[in-house]
Amino acid sequence: MQFALSEEQEMIRDVAAKLAADRLEPLAEKLDQGGGRDEFLKNLKEMAENGFMGLNVGAEYGGTEAGTISFSLAITELSRACASTAVTTSVTNMVAEVIQAVGSDEQKNEYLPKLCDGTYSAGGFCLTESGAGSDPAGMKTSAIKDGDDYILNGSKLYITSAEFAGIFVVWAVTDKDARKGKGISCFLVPAGTPGLIIGKAEKKMGQHGSATNEVHFENCRIPASAMMGKENDGFRIAVGELAGGRIGIGSLALGLGLEAMHRAKAYIMEREQFGTKLGNMQGLQWMIADVETELEAARLLLMQAAWLKDEGKPFAKAASMAKLHATEAAQKATYTALQLHGGTGYIKEYPLERYARDARITTIYEGTSEVQRLIIAREALADYR
């Protein structure tokens, strides 16, 4: 098995790391304090211009065609500097991929170049509802046929980038009498469509730079041509795209954990107590060893899932395993790094507490850790049923 990265993958990783250091890290604290929105949007445009908003999109649509491994590497590097920028990039890539996978030629030609070149600052993925989070098949948002149009009514919750997304992928019930999960369709709704209303911004524990909003549809009329894929086949599309999104969120979590531990290792090799550097104390060395091992395992699980996806092989179980392990490892890594800093880690002047807050959501969005365990168990037991 070949573990080495290709030259292209190394180049994409290195460019992402440089952009993160030069553009994202200097702004991260300002974003966390609620400012810097204009600079944030400018950075998103620069990300697009460097090919990071269409990493797995075909060149004919302005994409990079770099593949899922490169996507994972890039998100990891970006999140080491700014989790808010990383999650925006991850979700926008997910929106672009679903359009590429099931959109018509007209839809792909219309919307993919605008996502890839930064004409649209971001894409919105409208799936979750107040009563349909871990159970998206239970959604209530409806799309009722009216002549050559559909009329959308309902609300979506916790939509990343809703305030500045240029295009939304929206799931809605098109056959209320169908068996659960079988009567859902997928639509493309551009920002500014009458009846599409961006609701209040959520006040969150972390990732403050990433806008998270309610999105309401009030008699929102869209043409039948806005449907992606086949009618009533939307839930299958959502499940497939969520698996890919889990690679992105796992990669984001890995980056947070790596950066937190990078700073912790530097700190304990400088700080002295009891006449010696903290890094010389065996108890702290063991803390480092445990976290380093878990983060390396997370990296390998993510690379495996990304490779399977790039090879066109089944990857849902691998993606859930990678997302579960990486996000849980990030919780331990960020809190361990904070602990190794002692009281310094608790002070806002240092970024440790921000890493811990930013990492916390990764075990929840794109499917909670509990949902990942259900998926893994279902796949593991399938052959024995």
DSSP string, 149-205: EEEEEEEEEEEETTTTEEEEEEEEES-TTSPTTSSEEEEEEETT-TTEEEEEEP--S
Give catalytic status of residue 366 as yes or no.
Answer: yes
The pTM score is 0.96
Is the confidence at residue 1, as pLDDT, over 70?
no
Give the least confident one: 76-80, 88-92, 220-224, 381-385. 381-385
| Lowest mean pLDDT, pick from 7-21, 226-240, 313-327, 357-371 | 226-240
pLDDT value at residue 181:
84
Residue 127 to residues 25, 78, 216, 347, Cα–Cα distance (Å): 30, 25, 12, 37
* Per-residue pLDDT tens over the stretch 16-31: 999 999 999 999 999 9
Q: pLDDT (tens digit, 9 = 90+) per residue, 116-144?
A: 999 999 999 999 999 988 888 899 999 99
Mean pLDDT within 21-44? 97
- pLDDT value, residue 323: 98
- From CA 185, how far away is CA 221, in angstroms rounded? 15
* Average pLDDT value for residue range 140-153: 97
User: Which CATH number is 124-232's, of 1.20.58.480, 1.10.1740.10, 3.10.20.520, 2.40.110.10?
Assistant: 2.40.110.10
Residue 143's pLDDT is: 97
Contact 36, 29 (CB under 8 A): no
Check residue 383 and give its pLDDT.
Answer: 82
Architecture per CATH, domain 7-120, reads as Orthogonal Bundle (1.10)
**Number of Cβ within a 10 Å radius of residue 332:** 18
Residues 90, 123: contact at Cβ < 8 Å?
Answer: no
Q: What are phi and psi of 190, to 5 degrees?
A: -70, 150
Q: What does the pLDDT look like over 58-75, one tens digit per residue? A: 999 999 999 999 999 999
Share of the chain above pLDDT 90, in %: 94
Total residue count of the chain as it appears in this document: 385
Q: Domain map of the chain by residue range? A: 7-120, 124-232, 236-384
* Residue from 46, 272, 366, 379 carrying the catalytic annotation: 366
Q: Write the CATH number of the domain with boundaries 236-384.
A: 1.20.140.10
